[in-house]
């Protein structure tokens, strides 16, 4: 049984997807972390993303695995290393590459084999799991997403300018929506939930209600 949660950057997908999975007794898959992991190994190997042969070589020689919540690349725990601004800046190269997308979608389907899963990303309901039992499209106004991100920075003791964060969100929206393969779209049959003004708990409550109405969850 698969639940997909797609949506733009900063819509709160990771937090709510993780909590929803826990409530339903499902496993959780953060597919953004997989693109980040590929960007990380690409940077380490000095890959030229325009060289299709090199990208194919990388895909053939890279293993992505999990140990609980931790993501491993060729056995090395990269969970923290993939969250740097350097990786955020480079991840578009991996996410835009059709061969990388084919590789990761195949891996996502393999992970889902025989498992009940809440999977979260940009193309989970549209490309990876079009027949999922429940598809959610999570949205929020860019200003709201920027405001939340600024709060996250402040909670970590970091100062950031709202305008700069907003510009970054709008730039990521453009990149996500214009990707030639796996672009961010509302998947066919997905339920759209706007999270503006809702707390994380309220969003998770709403999602659980939607899922349980479909007979999903233990
Ligand atoms: O959600 P995130 O910021 O960790 O995602 C990292 C990048 O990967 C972001 O540029 C969007 C991209 N991505 C994607 O193209 N498809 C997915 N299923 C998940 C993430």
Q: Is the pTM of this model over 0.85?
A: yes
Domains of the chain: 2-209 (3.40.50.300)
Q: Which residues line ligand 1 (CB under 6 A)?
A: 9, 31-32, 35-36, 91-92, 95, 121-124, 176, 182
Strand stretches in the chain, DSSP E: 2-6, 27-30, 64-67, 70-73, 76-77, 117-121, 134-139, 191-194
User: How big is the chain by its Cα radius of gyration, in Å?
Assistant: 17
Structure tokens at 135: 């598809």
Best residue among 4, 5, 32, 125 to mutate for probing ligand 1's pocket (most ligand atoms within 8 Å of CB) is 32
Write the residue with the smallest CA distance to atom 1 of ligand 1: 32
* Segment 153-177, tens digit of pLDDT: 899 898 999 999 999 999 999 999 9
Has residue 91 got a pLDDT over 90? yes
Write the residue with the smallest CA distance to atom 10 of ligand 1: 92
* Segment 94-153, tens digit of pLDDT: 999 999 999 999 999 999 999 999 999 999 999 999 999 999 999 999 999 999 999 988
User: So what's the pLDDT on residue 172?
Assistant: 92
Q: Tokens 């639940």 sit at which residue?
A: 3
């Amino acid at each position: 049984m698969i639940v997909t949660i797609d949506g733009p950057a900063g819509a709160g997908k990771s937090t709510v997807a993780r909590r929803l999975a826990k409530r339903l007794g499902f496993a959780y898959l953060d597919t953004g972390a997989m693109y980040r992991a590929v960007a990380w190994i690409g940077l380490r190997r000095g890959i030229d993303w325009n060289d299709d042969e090199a990208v194919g070589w990388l895909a053939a020689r890279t293993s992505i695995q999990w140990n609980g919540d931790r993501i491993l690349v060729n056995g090395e725990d990269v969970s923290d290393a993939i969250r740097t601004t350097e990786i955020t800046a480079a991840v578009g190269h991996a996410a835009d590459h059709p061969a990388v997308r084919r590789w990761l979608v195949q891996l996502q389907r393999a992970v889902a084999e025989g498992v009940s899963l809440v999977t979260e990303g940009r193309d989970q309901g549209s490309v990876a799991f079009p027949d999922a039992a429940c598809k959610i499209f999570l949205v929020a106004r860019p200003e709201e997403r920027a405001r939340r991100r600024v709060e996250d920075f402040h909670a970590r003791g970091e100062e950031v300018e709202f305008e700069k964060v907003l510009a970054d969100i709008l730039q990521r929206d453009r990149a996500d929506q214009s990707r030639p393969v796996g672009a961010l779209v509302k998947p066919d049959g997905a339920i759209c939930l706007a999270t503006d003004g809702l707390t994380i708990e309220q969003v998770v409550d709403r999602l659980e209600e939607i899922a349980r109405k479909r007979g999903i969850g233990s």
